[in-house]
Amino acid sequence: MTNPAWPYPRWIAHRGAGKLAPENTLAALRLGASHGYRMFECDVKLSQDGVPFLMHDADLRRTTDGTGIGGDHPWHMLSQRDAGSWHSRRYAGEGLPSLENIARFCLHNGHLLNIEIKPTPGTERHTGEVVARHAARLWAQSPIPPLMTSFDVAALEGAQAIAPALPRGLLLDKPRADWLDLASRLDCVAIVCHYSLWDTGTVAAAHGAGLRCLSYTVNDEWIAQRLLDLGTDGIITDRVDLFSPA
């Protein structure tokens, strides 16, 4: 049976507010919050000098006015990048936030966070260690810690080694035969996978192992209803304007 004390809401806003605002920015979290969401998923990686910051891609070009690999730049340079103009004029000048910025916003407003550890290639375990160390410090006084997730096993191993008390979730984008054994070895509390991987058998297997079942990225009503009917526990969506989290 699953843990009845699961503290997280069913609905989680993807990268802050999905695609309605520039992803992984403070502006996106604010917009998601304005739609009633109180939990946000975000991607966190490390600057060259070890500062955890929010960005999905390894390369800066898609979501900032910079070039090159984000993890190759020190934080004082990354903090000057424009991470909003690519989206729309409304968000011109929006900056890349550090994890500390986001933690301050969430803790002050009672919001919850799903931190996806998104390492720059070659820094997997180290990124998991550093992000977990910062998360443990930032949320030390909070009754509900962030949910730490990753596709990368080494990143989760790093997080587990440094901050074992932080809850972890294994991200999956395709089936793998050892998923339950791997989740057990990493002492995970949840499986977070592409919504198409959930069916009655996989949900029953996860719940039977004491794991919660979360899905990404759900933007259609029929898919959301199917997941609700299956008894899954969390839905990550871009469509904060379509789905009411209440």
Which ranges in 56-123 belong to alpha helices (H)?
Answer: 75-78, 99-109
| pLDDT, tens digit only, all 246 positions of the chain | 344 589 999 999 999 999 999 999 999 999 999 999 999 999 999 999 999 999 999 999 999 999 999 999 999 999 999 999 999 999 999 999 999 999 999 999 999 999 999 999 999 999 999 999 999 999 999 999 999 999 999 999 999 999 999 999 999 999 999 999 999 999 999 999 999 999 999 999 999 999 999 999 999 999 999 999 999 999 999 999 999 997
- Whether 76 is catalytic: no
CA distance 57 to 158: 21
Backbone torsions φ then ψ of 101, nearest 5 degrees:
-55, -50
Q: In this structure, which long-range contacts are made by residues 57-63, counting pairs with CB atoms below 8 Å and at least 24 apart in sequence?
A: 58/120, 58/121, 62/86, 63/22, 63/23, 63/24
Which amino acid type is present at position 20?
L
- Residue pair 63/43 in contact (Cβ under 8 Å)? The answer is no
End-to-end CA distance of the chain: 25
Q: CB of 30 within 8 A of CB of 24?
A: no
Name, in order, each residue with C-beta under 8 angstroms of 105's C-beta and a sequence gap of 6 or more.
26, 29, 30, 111
**Residue 149 three-state SS:** strand
Q: Compute the distance between CA of residue 143 and CA of residue 43 in angstroms, rounded to an integer.
A: 22
For residue 53, give the nearest of 115, 3, 105, 5 by alpha carbon.
Answer: 115
User: Whose CA is closest to 3, among 152, 167, 126, 157?
Assistant: 167
Give 208's contacts (C-beta < 8 A, 6+ positions apart).
Answer: none
pLDDT given for residue 4 in this prediction: 53
> Is 194 known to be catalytic?
no
Partners of residue 192 on adjacent β-strands:
171, 214
Query: According to the model, what pLDDT value does residue 5 have?
Result: 83
Domain range 11-58+97-237, CATH class: alpha beta
d(CA 18, CA 28): 8
- Residue 1: per-residue pLDDT: 38
Domain range summary for the chain, segments of one domain joined by +: 11-58+97-237
Question: Which listed residue (56, 126, 194, 207) is catalytic?
Answer: 56
Of residues 14, 87, 111, 134, which has the active-site annotation?
A: 14
Residue 68 contacts residue 62 (beta carbons within 8 Å): no
Cβ-contact 157, 178 below 8 angstroms: no
Q: How far is CA 89 from the centre of its chain?
A: 26
Continuous segment of H or E residues that includes residue 237: strand 234-237
Q: Determine the pLDDT at residue 246.
A: 78
Q: Give the pLDDT score at 38.
A: 97
Smallest Cα–Cα separation from 233: which of 86, 221, 241, 216? 216
Segment 83-112, tens digit of pLDDT = 999 999 999 999 999 999 999 999 999 999
